[in-house]
Structure 1
Amino acid sequence: MYALFEGNKQIGDPFPTEKEVWEAALIEGLVSDVPVADEGRLVPAGYHVERIDEAFEPRPGWKLPREIS
C-alpha cells in the first residue's frame, strides 16, 4: 500500500499502487501533473508518496487542499 504524506504525517487514504496515490492527488488539485521518472516530482515541497505496511486513518475532517499558495 502507498499513501500521500506531508512531512512525516500520512494525510491521504492508502492505495494499492503509487500511481493511484498520484492520480488521487491530481484529481484533488494538489498536483498539476503526475510525476514522470525523468522529469522529477511536481508536488509542493514537503509532500511525498511513501510505501506503508499498515493503513492509518487520515486526520478527521482533513481534505486535500484545492490550491497551493
Structure 2
Amino acid sequence: MPYALFDGDRQLGPGLPTEAEVWKQALQAGLISDIPVADEAGGQVLPPGYRVKETREQGCTPDPAWKLPDEIS
C-alpha cells in the first residue's frame, strides 16, 4: 500500500511505495531537518497539521444504468 504526505486531509505529494520514501521526500523539501528513528522517543517532527499516512486506491464503480453508445459518430 502506498504512503503519502498530507496536510490535514489534503494529499501533498504522490503516493510512494514506502513510508521511508515519503520521509526522504519531506527532508528534501525542507519540511524536516532529519528523518525520525523508530526507536527514539521524540516530539513533533513534521510541521503542525502534516502527517504521513497510507493512501488508499480510490476507485469508483460505474453507474449500472450507464450504457456505451452503439455507434460513434
Q: What TM-score results when the alignment is normalised by the length of structure 2? A: 0.67
| Aligned partner of residue 21 in structure 1, secondary structure | helix
Q: Kindly, what percent of the aligned residue pairs are identical?
A: 51
CA deviations over 1:9-65 (Å, ceiling 9, x no partner): 11111100000000011011111111222233411110000001227xxxxxxxxxx
Unaligned runs of 5+ in 1: 56-69
Unaligned runs of 5+ in 2: 59-73
- Aligned equivalents of 2:13, 2:41: Cα separation in 1: 24
- The match for 1:51 is 54
The number of residue pairs the alignment matches comes to: 55
Letter in 2 for 1:39: A
Structure ranking higher on relative contact order (CA contacts 8 Å, 6+ apart) = 1
- The match for 2:26 is 25
Q: What TM-score results when the alignment is normalised by the length of structure 1? A: 0.71
Residue 42 of structure 1: which of 41, 45, 52 is its match? Answer: 45
User: Which entry has the higher C-alpha Rg, 1 or 2?
Assistant: 2
